[in-house]
Amino acid sequence: MSNPTFEVEHLSLHYLTRFGEKIHAVTDVSFEMKQGEILGIAGESGCGKSTLVNGLMGLFIPPLHPTSGEVKVGGESLMNRTPQDIREHVLSRRVSMIPQGAFNALNPTRKVKDIAADVIVAHEKADRKKAYDRLGERFELFFGAEAKRILNAYPVQLTAGERQRSVIGISTLLNPEMVIADEPTSALDVSTQKIVIKMIFDLLDAGIFKSMIFITHELPLLRHVADNIAIMYAGEFVEKGTAEQIVFSPKHPYTQALMGAMLSAEPGQKSRKPVAIEGAPPSLAEAIVGCRFAARCPVARPECRQNKQELRMFADRLVRCDYAE
C-alpha cells in the first residue's frame, strides 16, 4: 500500500475578531487520503467547509489562524510556513482549488490566457511567451479546436460551462497532487454539470492530479462522485465512511436528518416531504460543552447536552454519537 498523499491530523482553526474574540470554525478534523481517492465533504452552509479549505492549503490569512494540528501533502507539512513560501511552493503546485461559482472567479478585465499565464510565471521561471505555448497545448486537451478562442476571450465572452472548464484547466495547470473542488457544479445546468464532472474524472484518470476533495451540499451527487464521504457539522466531522454507508445507512442523527432533508424523493425513504432541520447550529464563539447537535437533534437525550461526543468506530465507519444505532 502506498503512503497517503494527504494527511490531516487533529486540525483546528479559529478566526480572531477585531475585539479579540476567538471563533473556532474548525475543530479536530482528521483524515487521510490515498492516491486516486475522492473524498466528499458535505454539510450545511456555515459549517466550516470553506474555512477548512483554506486550512488544507496552508493558507492562513488573518483573521484566520491555525489553533493546532497538522496538514501534510506527500509527507511535507504545510504548517508554520510563511505565506510567501506557501504561495510559491504549495498553491497550484501541490494543492489547488476549484472554487465555487466560477462565474465570477475569473478576473473580468483579463483574458483567460493572461490569467493562466499569471499562474505559470508566479511559480516557475518561465517567460510569458513559453507560458502561452504551454497553455495552448493544455487547453487543446479540454477544448480541442476551440482552445484558441477560449484562451483569447475575456470571461464575459464565454458561456458558464466554458468558464467553469477554463477554471478547472487553470487550477490544474501545474499538475497539483491534490485538488479541492468547492461546489464546482453549483449554478450550472444539468448537462453542463455532466460535462464538468466528466472533465474532472478525465483529469484524474490522466494522472494530472492525484486525489481530490469534493465539497458540496448535494449528497446525491457525492454518492456518484466520491469514494468516501465526511459529514461536517459546526466545525466538526460527525460521520465519515464510504459513500455507500453514508448515503444508504447513515448512523449519526445529523446525517440522517440531512438525508431526510435532501434525499426525500429517493425511493426507499420513509417520508417524501422535504424535512427541514429545525433550529440553527450553535455559536462557535463560545465554549460548547456537550454534543454540538444536541439542541437540534430529534433523538437527543438530556445527557447529550453535558457529554462531549467523540468520534468512534461504529458499524465500520466513524460516528460522533454515543447513541448511534
Partner 1 sequence: MLRQHPTARFILQRAGWYLLTFLVAVTINFFLPRLGTSNPVDIILAKSTGGLSAQAAREKEESYLKEFGLVKLDGHGNIRRDTTIRMVKVWDASKQASVSKPDTLIKPIKASSLDQFFTYVKMSLSGDLGTSFQKYPKKVLDVIVQAVPWTIALQLPTIVFGWIVGNVLGALAAYRRGMFDRVFFPVALLISSIPFFVFGMLLVYYFAVVLGWFPAMGGYADEIIPSFSFEFFGSVAYHYVLPFFSIFLILAGGQAIGMRSMGIYELGTDYIKYAKWLGIKESRVLIYLFRNAMLPQLTGLALSLGTMIGGALITEMIFSYPGLGMAMLSAIQNNDYPMIQGVTLIITTCVLIANFTVDIMIGFLDPRVKAGLQMGGN
Binding site for partner 1 (CB under 8 A): 57, 59, 61, 86-88, 90-93, 96-97, 99-101, 103-110, 115, 118-119, 121-123, 154, 156-157, 167, 170-171
Q: How far apart are CA 49 and CA 182, in angstroms?
A: 9
Beta carbon of residue 170, minimum distance to partner 1 (angstroms, whole number): 7
CB 111, min distance to partner 1, A: 8
Report, in Å, the least distance between residue 75 CB and partner 1: 20
Give whichever of 97 and 229 is closer to partner 1, judged by the CB atom: 97
Q: Which is nearer to partner 1, 114 or 140 (CB)?
A: 114
- 255-272-188 Cα angle (round to 5): 70
**Of residues 121 and 265, the one with the C-beta less far from partner 1:** 121
Residue 107 beta carbon to partner 1: minimum distance, rounded to whole angstroms? 5
Closest separation in Å from C-beta 125 to partner 1: 13
Cβ nearer to partner 1, comparing 88 with 146? 88
Q: Is the separation of the CB atoms in 115 and 154 below 8 Å?
A: no
Name the grid cell of 146. 476551440
Residue at 267: amino acid letter:
P
Q: CB atoms < 10 A from the CB of 175, how many?
A: 16
Residues with Cβ < 8 Å from 133, sequence gap 6 or more?
Answer: none
Which residue, 59 or 295, has its beta carbon nearer to partner 1? 59
**Half-sphere CA count of 31, side-chain side, radius 13 A:** 27
- Cα distance between residue 247 and residue 224, in whole Å: 10
Peptide bond into 298 cis (omega under 30): no
> Of 85, 83, 86, 81, whose CA–CA distance to 61 is shortest?
83
Give the residue with the Cβ less far from partner 1, 56 or 197.
56
Q: Do residues 97 and 57 lie in contact, with contact meaning Cβ atoms separated by under 8 Å?
A: yes
CB of 119 vs partner 1, minimal distance in Å: 5
